[in-house]
Amino acid sequence: MAMLDTCSERLGAILDDAQRLMSCESPSDDLAAIARSADVVAEVVGARLAEAGLPSTPERIVVGGCTHLRWRFGGGGRVLILTHHDTVWPIGSLATYPIHITGGVLSGPGCFDMKVGLAQAVHAIAALAQKAGPAAVAGVTLLVTGDEEIGSPTSRGLIEDEARGAKAVFVLEAAGPDGSLKTARKGASVYGVDVIGRAAHAGLEPEKGINSVVELAAQIPVIAALADTDHGTTVTPTRLRADTTVNTVPAHARLDVDVRATTAAEQHRVDHGMRSLESTLSGSRIDVSGGITRPVMERTNTAHLFSRATTLADSAGIHPLHAIAVGGASDGNLTAGMGVPTLDGLGAVGGGAHAADEHVVIEHIPHRTALVALLIADTLAGGGR
């Protein structure tokens, strides 16, 4: 039986597993919810692996209170499958946006990013073991992290350790428009700009204060000017706040800044600019924190794997593949930044990530699951780097 047929037969089970994963809400900033979600992931994934004769119990890795799960088959280390079980949706979202299937579309919080992708990953591994025996996945590591949506602060070291020496990394993040695979991603940087001034009574003696808000207002155009449209570099002031009362000259103000760039050179240029900010008000101080959080994923690290994926899809009757470059970052940026061949966007096909209309088109699920299974087999057989 062809791999696409095998995965098509699994569609009902994949949908059941995806909905079970979605039913356990897992916002990244709620560590207790992430721990509960990890329990559900371990149960759902473990059951499918056991059916295929594979080790079912994961390593439970808690870093900074955040729970990550890892399965290694035959020692792992050659192919890394990257997924995450956290979402952006707060507890209670299911009451407002319940899980439902209508007209061949699965909807609900976290389905597209990326509970369906996680379900597809485990079924791809299980399908390969089902067809060719457990030895067919020897060398594969399945990593399910719990903090991707907030920049992977506790899982980055784990991801990089697992990727080191791997022949390929396959990321089950949601696909691009029309199911495109993500062969390039902008790098991401996040900064906090704290302005320290001096408080004073706004009515009695404002001249004795140093207004942090006025200073920060002068810095915002300087920061925004670091963007470079020609190079695709965006520098976006986002959250702004000052901690004071309505009748006090503010002593402290803070601005958060989001930066996206298509090259490492641009990331470093903006980083230098952010750290070179100079105050305009005598006595004020500017403290810049943060920096580059995810390196650029460049096509040079994805081209070979995309070529292999296209060949495999054509020969297996899988939907035709297209490539796209996107502005959003993922854990694939981390592995690509290490020089490890990485292919991203292998997860669900749909849309509405992080929004009320988040959804997955069901007909694509067997195709994507089969593609991941074939990519694993191809890489283990020598089709990787």
Task: List, by residue number, the catalytic residues.
Answer: 86, 148
- Report the C-alpha gap between 162 and 301 in whole angstroms: 17
Q: Do the strands 285-294 and 79-84 form a parallel or antiparallel pair, or are they unpaired?
A: unpaired
What residues are paired with 210 via a beta bridge? Answer: 198
Residue that is written with structure tokens 């390969």 in the block:
128
- Report the C-alpha gap between 245 and 327 in whole angstroms: 38
What residues are paired with 59 via a beta bridge? Answer: 70
**84 is written with which tokens?**
């995450």
What residues are paired with 79 via a beta bridge? Answer: 140, 168
Across 154-167, b (16+ Cβ under 10 Å) vs e yields bbbebbbebbeebb
Coil/strand/helix, residue 81: strand
Cβ–Cβ < 8 Å for 334, 294: yes
| Residue 117 phi, psi dihedral angles, 5° rounding | -60, -40
Single-letter amino acid code for the residue at 233: T
Q: Of the candidates 132, 150, 84, 165, which has an alpha carbon nearest to the alpha carbon of residue 335?
A: 165
Alpha helix stretches (DSSP H) within 52-85: none
Single-letter amino acid code for the residue at 341: P
